[in-house]
Amino acid sequence: MKRTILDTDPGVDDALAILLALGSPELHVVGISAVSGNVELARCVRNALRVLRLTGRMDLPVHAGASRPLIREPFRAEIVHGRDGLGDAGVSDAGRGADSEDAVGFLVRTLRADPGAISLVATGPLTNLALAERQSPGVLKQAREVIVMGGAVREQGNATPTGEFNFVADPHAAREVLHAGANLTLVPLDVTHRCLLAEEAVRRRIAPLRTPVSDFIARTTALCRAYMKNVEGVEGFHLHDPLAVGVGIDPSFCETEVMRLDVETEGGLTAGQVVADRRVFVDERLLNGSNVRVCVGVDRKRFVEFFLERVLK
């Protein structure tokens, strides 16, 4: 059982990722750190707590982290996730607030206390992780693994023509984390865009169950499903963040390749773009970026079925 921290900005698919993590015996979630992203920080904290209330896991700590990116102005995704971050579905509040320790301190303390033991799954902008590395250089190397949902390597972006939302929301943090030398696996849009939970599955397998969790999934995803249909012509929604948790549970869901990656931070059109240096040089010192393990292929059907079985059981 992997002791795991979820660093997240709930967000609908982040909430589904939390459900998957808490419903999987392979993971022992020791805490949640929230970061500003899909919606403002206070709403992200509130939504993490809402999911814990839904699952009966109010014992888990939730720590509030960065309220804004390192440098750029906040960048939100309310058009997809709703003003409250959970599809404006009227989900009940948890009745408690965040723990007193801030997320950055929690990350540093927990990773330093037990080197090589903690898996860190990040499904939001990487601001908390970058601040932890700044506060305690080398701390991300102390994690057993760092799994990041973010970036688009060969795939087009979803927030800009070339950039995935989490990396566009804080490109400077993404760049610092990719250069931190951690045992990092990147789960980019290249694979998450292939993991579609079809509209038919919502209608036939989720909604009819009428359990608290199935009702939560059907209600909170309604807005993003409508957005996907109206804007992208897609019948369903992508399991971006749940796939990152899935890789933490079973790495065989994805095929990986080590690439030399960097992140553009300044371009008006390209901030947050992942740049892979594929040039063939004998001397690797001439290449830009850092070596990162990147998910390049995914067993889509197996993962989607796994997700449904775990969250609906």
| Domain ranges (residues) in the chain | 2-312
What would the pLDDT profile of 94-136 be if each residue is shown by its tens digit? 999 999 999 999 999 999 999 999 999 999 999 999 999 999 9
What would the pLDDT profile of 175-230 be if each residue is shown by its tens digit? 999 999 999 999 999 999 999 999 999 999 999 999 999 999 999 999 999 999 99
pLDDT of 161 strictly over 80: yes
Query: Cα separation of 257 and 214, whole Å?
Result: 35
- Cis, peptide link before residue 11, omega less than 30° from 0: yes
Query: Is residue 17 a contact partner of residue 245, using CB atoms and an 8 Å limit?
Result: yes
For residue 282, what pLDDT is reported? 72
For the question of residue 172 being annotated catalytic, the response is no
Query: Cα separation of 41 and 131, whole Å?
Result: 15
Query: Cα separation of 76 and 183, whole Å?
Result: 29
- Both tokens assigned to 188: 């980019």
Tell me the average pLDDT of the chain: 97
User: How does residue 281 score in pLDDT terms, banded at 50, 70 and 90?
Assistant: confident
| CATH class held by domain 2-312 | alpha beta
Which of the following is catalytic: 81, 193, 238, 240? 240
pLDDT of 272 strictly over 80: yes
pLDDT of 263 strictly over 80: yes
Tokens 């869901």: give the residue.
Answer: 253
> Angle between the 212-220 and 12-22 helix axes, to the nearest 10 degrees?
160
Cα–Cα separations (whole angstroms), residue 210 to 86, 130, 204, 218, 258: 18, 41, 12, 10, 43
For residue 285, what pLDDT is reported? 82
